[in-house]
């Protein structure tokens, strides 16, 4: 869980892709949280509208079922002024045997500027980011069991809103850690933001390999044994 995915930044240091939170610098994460907070409005108020993405076309490529994530990306892009195209695998040319890159190159030729990808196969967002034209950005909306960076950022924003600071917190991530992309992204973002007491809690069968969780306190608990063994 500690090797950063290369190629998320442009030559000038600005963020081009968002594929993973693993290895993303703290300064980038804090800027994203600050920008996100500026768009937050109480329920019942009109959402903020911007022209920041006017003239930009965003394609949502979802090859596994999603409602909340896809709608969130669609509404966010539209409220920023972008044109939005939604593709689902059961309606797309991938059913006819075309690869993801075939679809991506077709969309790129139609002047799509941002591709938001959710796919059950590990490595797909990185594959697309490696092969798109220099002006195209790729955002992961969930990659297999590997990562879900925008959900990790949302979790961090929620904690920030309620606790203000991360440097004195204890946070436990509980559940099926081995197969959860959300848990992995939460682990990465909270570790980068300096949470001093970060714990992952799961039964042995659902615990990731210890070498993938440096710096975290690991608690194993089975339904047959109320005792917990902890290591770090």
| pLDDT for position 224 | 42
Buried b (16+ CB within 10 A) or exposed e, 44-77: eeeeeeeeebeebbbbbbbbeebeebbebbbebb
Half-sphere exposure of 70 (CA within 13 A, CB side): 16
What is the tens place of the pLDDT at every residue in 13-64?
A: 999 999 999 999 999 999 999 999 999 999 999 999 999 999 999 999 998 8
Confidence band (pLDDT; 50, 70, 90) for 217? low
Q: DSSP for 116-137, please give it.
A: EEEESSTTHHHHHHHHS-TT-E
In this prediction the pTM is 0.85
What is the tens place of the pLDDT at every residue in 97-119?
A: 568 899 999 999 999 999 999 99
Q: DSSP for 47-76, please give it.
A: PP---TTTT-EEEEEESS--SHHHHHHHHH
Q: How far apart are CA 84 and CA 102, in angstroms?
A: 19
Of the two residues 93 and 161, the one the predictor is more confident about is 161
C-alpha to C-alpha distances, 108 to 42, 79, 150, 184, nearest whole angstrom: 37, 22, 23, 31
Under DSSP, is residue 140 helix (H, G, I), strand (E, B) or coil? Answer: strand
Which residues pair with residue 61 across a beta bridge? 87, 117
Q: How far apart are CA 133 and CA 105, in angstroms?
A: 9
| pLDDT for position 65 | 84
> Which tokens belong to 217?
């306190």
Which are the contacts of 133, defined by CB distance < 8 A and separation ≥ 6?
A: 108
N residues, the chain: 232
User: Range with the lowest mean pLDDT among 134-148, 180-194, 203-217?
Assistant: 203-217
Classify burial at 28, counting beta carbons within 10 Å of its beta carbon; exposed 0-12, middle 13-18, buried 19 or more.
middle
């Amino acid at each position: 869980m500690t090797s950063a995915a290369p190629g998320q930044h442009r030559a000038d240091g600005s963020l081009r892709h968002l594929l993973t939170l693993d290895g993303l610098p703290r300064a980038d994460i804090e800027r994203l949280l600050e920008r996100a907070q500026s768009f937050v409005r109480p329920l019942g108020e009109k959402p903020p509208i911007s022209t920041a993405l006017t003239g930009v076309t965003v394609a949502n490529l979802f090859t596994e079922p999603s409602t909340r994530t896809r709608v969130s990306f669609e509404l966010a892009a539209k409220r920023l002024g972008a044109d939005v195209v939604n593709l689902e695998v059961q309606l797309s040319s991938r059913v006819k045997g075309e690869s993801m890159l075939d679809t991506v190159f077709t969309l790129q030729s139609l002047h799509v500027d941002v591709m938001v990808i959710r796919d059950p196969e590990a490595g797909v967002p990185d594959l697309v980011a490696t092969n798109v034209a220099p002006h195209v950005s790729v955002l992961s909306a969930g990659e297999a069991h590997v990562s879900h960076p925008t959900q990790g950022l949302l979790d961090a924003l929620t904690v920030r809103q309620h606790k203000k600071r991360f440097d004195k917190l204890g946070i436990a991530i509980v559940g099926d850690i081995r197969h959860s992309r959300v848990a992995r992204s939460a682990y990465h973002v909270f570790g980068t933001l300096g949470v001093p007491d970060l714990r992952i809690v799961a039964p042995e069968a659902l615990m990731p390999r210890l070498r993938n969780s440096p710096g975290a306190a690991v608690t194993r608990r089975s339904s047959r044994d109320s005792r917990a063994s902890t290591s770090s």
